[in-house]
Chain A
Amino acid sequence: MSGKPLKDPLDLLDIASVLTDEEREIQATVARFLADRVRPHIGEWFENAHFARELAPELGKLGVLGMHLEGYGCAGTNAVSYGLACLELEAADSGFRSFVSVQGSLSMFSIWKWGSEEQKQEWLPRLAAGEAIGCFGLTEPDFGSNPSGMRTRAVRDGDDWILNGSKMWITNGGIADVATVWAQTEDGVRGFLVPRGTPGFTTQDIKQKMSLRASITSELYFDNVRLPDSARLPHAQGLRGPLSCLNEARFGILFGAVGAGRDSLQAAIEYADSRVQFDKPISAFQLTQKKLADMTVSLGGAALLAVHLGRLKDQHRIRPEQISVGKLNNVREAIAIARECRTILGANGVSLEYSPLRHANNLESVLTYEGTGEMHTLVVGQAITGQAAFR
């Protein structure tokens, strides 16, 4: 038993103690970068729907982009370190975590895992450095949870492919130098790398969002886009290709959500300590303490779950349904925390000076993308009953 005051009320369970020095240093470095370069501006960027493109090379220099991949200029960290970086990024803003997730886990991972050596050499070093931006097109206007129904098609034309269709809700779409695009072909779903500027490939950014405003979301259009066969990801066939990438990204998300929750809780604790009503700080009122205590409990559970799943991933024995448990739980808890924190902040909570409502709004997207809460629920349901209840 130790009677000393808590060193960090946000880490009541001392989860830091189960991390290695290297993991803590990577986490601290990302946190410091964000404190210097992102946090002072994030409210303004969110309000003005601005994505700070100029930070991409800086994130690249740190080693954040594709950090858990080996070779081709990637840092090659373990999965827990990648998760902790996502946690800090999302604590700053889900928009930045989304940018990094898409760049590293969807765009870069799809090339790293399914691409040819030439494709890897061409794209991975530039994507890792943040000199090039990547995006990932799977979701379509009419096909979200059910990607197997996708309408985007690629057909052979001599040695080439002709691509037609559109993709929706594509993070980084409007600024991407290369898009990983999934399309139906005669022999199932195939992936293609479509460079920006290819004739017939256009993008349109989605305006008037109420979530992830500090990141770019776009629609991609393919109108008779002619691609050489060397644009095809040679090793991916079927939906397993894109779904393997989504598992990577979901892993980052289940850490990221903990960051959004932690940042909200931190804002609420600080505010409750300094806001005086009825002659005492509101943190001294039982109703406020109940909120703070409940959130501390759920956040601690989410963080432990994230680290546990990270350890499984580093041992190469994580299963998709375990990732579903993590994403389902952690995003659900994080959005509940962010909303509850807003209530502690009172009217000030609706101002962009404080983070909780921004996090809550961002988490609306996070709850839905990379597999909705409903789909992850059904994945878990199938895992424990053996019965698929998706359709």
Chain B
Amino acid sequence: MNIVVLVKQVPDSGAERTLSTDDHTLDREDADLVLDEINERAAEEALRLKESVDAEVTVVSMGPDSALEAIRKVLAMGADRGIHVCDDRLHGADVLTTAKVLAAAVRRVGDIDLVLAGNATTDGQASAVPAVVADLLGLPQVTHARELTVDAGRVRAERQTENGEATLDAPLPALVSVTEKINDPRYPSFKGIMAAKKKPVDTVDLDDLFPDADDAGFLVARTRVVEAVPRPPRAAGIRITDDGSAGRQLVEHLIARKLV
């Protein structure tokens, strides 16, 4: 079996995130970057499959030089090889470009049976990248899986969303995105960490992925930020004494803040 895991490096969720004042993209320079937690679970799911069937696991990540750390981490967990898409021109790439690049990287792996990804990343992406990758590769989209069975050339999953659960069924090859509920990822072992250094990682750029593309015409983003304003510092809070309607007042307040 040929499995590809898509992973991403994100700022540590505990850290404060800032937007660059130049181009309104996420300022990654000062942040501690870590392998996204849900991606780690996608990797774990791939490695569990590798333990039960004969599989090769390729980990793919798009990002600057430091994204190599995320790839190494998954290699340390037990994946076999990596593809690192690294190209300065991808700075500020939108969901579509990200998905196109990832789809092109998956195609380099050749005949794949399964693409695994996290259903969301913690850095504010659309959680729609896996769906788009499925569209671009013509694969069934088995997204937001909290439970996964791969058997006899088919994949079955329990999809969990805010609207409840659905059982999904699709033939392989397929794309699966997993939720935080799917498993508890393993810690890389020291032997794994030391072995990861010796595993192959292909570093590719846009010219490798799209040799026929017109260099000047490659669209990185199809949207533009007109303005980005930091939220004002926490103002003095509202304080009320319950007169029997505090619950109702509270819900209005939460709605106004788009929290309900």
Contact = CB atoms under 8 A, between A and B. Distances in A.
In the complex they form, whether A and B have CB atoms below 8 Å apart is answered with: yes
Interface in A3-31: 4-5, 7, 21-22, 25-26, 29
Given A22-B197, A25-B76, A75 B30 contact: no
A33 interface: yes
B29 to A, nearest CB: 9
Given A4-B30, A7-B30, A25 B193 contact: yes
Contacts of A67: 190
A4 B29 CA distance: 11
Interface stretch (A58-66, A91-99, A279-287, A377-385): A58-66
A32 interface: yes
A7 B32 contact: yes
Interface residues of A, number: 19
B193 A29 contact: yes
Contacts of B191: 63, 75-76
B11 to A, nearest CB: 12
Contacts of A77: 190, 194
A80 B30 CA distance: 27
Interface residues of B, number: 14
Nearest to A60: B189
A81 interface: yes
Nearest to B192: A63
A304 B191 CA distance: 26
Contact of A61 (B30, B76, B189, B193): B189
Contacts of B218: none
A22 B72 CA distance: 10
Given A7-B30, A7-B32, A29 B194 contact: no
B187 A75 contact: no
B190 A64 contact: yes
B188 interface: yes
A75 B76 contact: no
A61 B78 CA distance: 13
Contact of B194 (A61, A62, A75): A75
A29 B76 CA distance: 11
Interface string B54-71: 000000000000000100
A65 to B, nearest CB: 10
B187 A29 contact: yes
Interface string A54-84: 0000000111100100000001110001000
Contacts of A33: 187
A63 B190 contact: yes
A26 B187 contact: no
Nearest to B29: A4
A76 B30 CA distance: 34
B75 to A, nearest CB: 11
Contacts of B190: 26, 29, 62-64, 67, 75, 77, 81
Given A4-B30, A7-B32, A22 B194 contact: yes
Contact of A62 (B30, B189, B197): B189
Interface in A214-250: none
A4 B76 CA distance: 32
Interface in B180-196: 187-191, 193-194
A61 B193 CA distance: 13
A75 B32 contact: no
B187 A32 contact: yes
Nearest to B32: A7
A307 B196 CA distance: 24
Interface in B17-55: 30, 32
Contacts of B193: 22, 25-26, 29
A33 B186 CA distance: 10
Among B69, B76, B189, B197, the most chain A Cβ lie within 10 Å of the Cβ of B189
Contacts of B188: 25, 29
A77 B192 CA distance: 11
A75 B189 contact: yes
A170 B194 CA distance: 33
A67 B190 CA distance: 8
Nearest to B190: A63
Contacts of A22: 193-194, 197
21 contacts: A4-B30, A7-B32, A21-B69, A22-B194, A25-B72, A25-B76, A25-B193, A29-B187, A29-B188, A29-B190, A32-B187, A33-B187, A61-B187, A62-B190, A63-B189, A63-B190, A64-B190, A67-B190, A75-B191, A76-B194, A81-B190
Given A22-B194, A29-B193, 5 more contacts: A22-B193, A22-B197, A25-B193, A62-B187, A63-B190
